[in-house]
Amino acid sequence: MPGPERSLLAPGLGRLASFDYACPVALVGPQPLLNSSPLSVLLSDLREERAASVPFPPGETRLSMARTRRFANEPLPMLLDAYERFGPVFTLRLFHSNVVFMLGPAANHYITVTHASNFLWREGHFRDLIGLMGDGLLTIDGEFHRRSRLIMLPAFHREHIAASVEVIVEETTRALEQFTPGAVVDLYAITRRLALRVAMRALFGLDPDGERARAIDAAGLFEQALAFYASEYVLRVFRGRGSPWARLQAAARKLDTLIYSEIAERRATGRRGQDILSLLLDAHDEDGNTLSDLQIRDEVMTLMFAGHDTTTSTVSFMFYELARHPQIVDRLLAEQDAELAGRRPSASQMVSGELGELELVLEETLRKYPPAWVGPRRAIDAFEFEGHTVPERAFVNYCSWASHHLPDVFAEPEAFRPERFTPEARAALPKGAYVPFGGGSRTCIGMRFGQLEVRTIATVILSRFTFSLPEDFRLEIRQMPTISPKRGLPVIVHPRASAPLADLSAAA
């Protein structure tokens, strides 16, 4: 079922639209997206760079496609090397433009909290995501963002996410039915399908086994769309048939079929539940204005992406590290036997993170592999940081992945050490040192749901299986809007010696 026509953007896109609703919210939608050509956007970027009123911070500012390709393939060592040479703020020329990177605790706090109002997400280097997600919570700024977030917050209150534990346990148990002891399975691919099913059910009340959902491969379509960011920089400029952009758009249209048909069915029948889609359908202001189908579509698309992609990466990287550290697995299994004693995890245990050893492993996984690895922004006004000026309209990125690997903040950062996050060690970290979910007003709204989901999936898996890695497997990391294993995560399945958690299908 097609949705309303919209103009999907080339990179660069429109200025911040207005979205004026307060409490009670006024549901006035954003202005139409601008239809800018890629070439005009690139030229605009170059003009604004040349018009800068202050110099860029030191760095590598000469055009280099080799540098651009290296950054696309291996940004982490490149950023850490630049940090060593230039300090916490530096410039790298990537493709057509200078990009300022700010690394470390003070930089993270500056961009996400104390000076967040001087930076726009919408005009940063992930701006092409608007072509997939529209004006959802991820891609908007300022007052529009603040008030959109107010509508969404009730759906992420503690009691709402606690109710999701039953769904997560049920779906994880179902996914584990395909695990055979001794077999090699791709845990990344399995977890992506699992996490999307959970997002459909727990966040949106969608039936992943319903006729509409079965007609498309939603997990595969998201993978196809986000592969835009795995393509060469030069190819991202093209918009013709067969281009990465065309594939992104094709995936978006197919996902729209599912979302719009569900919106239409809910409107026609009046069916509602305790889910975000119901919340959005019923939101209205004091004059009775409601959200359009297009606005609802954008929020659903955004949260379907965020609600499964980051979970998929975190679970995959967690079990990759556990397969390499059997002594940590032993601690987790001992904790599970002591705290659960064969019982299924309760909602309160999963919401609060009461399994302490598992919580340390989750925190360390998010340190070493923060899914949302980079925070692309664009400065509004010129500013000074650590003795260096940054021009107005400059592209400015913070990078949690690089900041989490600074040896002056986290000793031996490549080592997987869950004990870094004991209460005492966590309290000693500088403000802004640990930012896997961003910070300030743009802290991931689904952070608690995501943590709950990873804890629950990991607990159910560990109740039944442990994993080892094939001898020839070497982890390679792919950078898109999130990081993930580039070639999946093949693991060898081993059954647990003790009995699995009992009565997993029962209500919490």
Q: Please state, in angstroms and rounded to a whole number, the distance separating the CA atoms of residues 487 and 331.
A: 29
* Least confident segment among 182-196, 290-304, 378-392: 290-304
Q: Is residue 28 part of a domain?
A: no
pLDDT band at 502 (very low <50, low <70, confident <90, very high): low
Q: Is the per-residue pLDDT at 23 higher than 90?
A: no
- What's the pLDDT tens digit per position in 361-379? 999 999 999 999 999 999 9
pLDDT band at 29 (very low <50, low <70, confident <90, very high): very low
358-436-146-151 Cα dihedral, nearest 10 degrees:
-30
Q: Is residue 214 part of a domain?
A: yes
Residue 27: per-residue pLDDT: 46
Mean of pLDDT values over 283-309: 86
Structure tokens at 220: 């595969």
Task: Give me the number of domains the chain comprises.
Answer: 1
- What's the pLDDT tens digit per position in 311-363? 999 999 999 999 999 999 999 999 999 999 888 899 999 999 999 999 999 99
Apex 483 CA angle, 42 and 259, nearest 5: 80
Stronger pLDDT, 496 or 461, i.e. the higher one: 461
Q: Is residue 12 part of a domain?
A: no
What backbone phi and psi angles, to 5 degrees, belong to 60?
-110, 100
- What's the pLDDT tens digit per position in 139-160? 999 888 888 888 888 889 998 8
Residue 379: per-residue pLDDT: 98
- What's the pLDDT tens digit per position in 35-92? 467 888 888 999 999 999 999 999 999 999 999 999 999 999 999 999 999 999 999 9
Q: Is the per-residue pLDDT at 16 higher than 50?
A: no
Q: What is the CATH number of the domain that holds 267?
A: 1.10.630.10
Number of H helices, E strands in the chain: 21, 13
Structure tokens at 194: 């699992």
Domain residues for the domain of 193 are 38-495
> Do you find a cis peptide bond into 38, omega within 30 degrees of 0?
no
Instruction: Look at the chain and count its residues.
Output: 508
Q: For the whole prediction, is pTM greater than 0.75?
A: yes
Q: Is residue 202 part of a domain?
A: yes
Contacts of 263-270 with CB under 8 Å at 24 or more apart are 263/293, 263/296, 263/297, 263/300, 264/1, 264/293
Q: Please state, in angstroms and rounded to a whole number, the distance separating the CA atoms of residues 484 and 472.
A: 19
Structure tokens at 189: 């691919």
Q: Is residue 1 part of a domain?
A: no
Q: Is residue 263 part of a domain?
A: yes
Q: Is residue 107 part of a domain?
A: yes
Of the chain, the percentage scoring pLDDT greater than 70 comes to 91
Q: In what order do the strands lie in the sheet with 184-186?
A: 184-186, 490-495, 465-468
Q: Is residue 2 part of a domain?
A: no
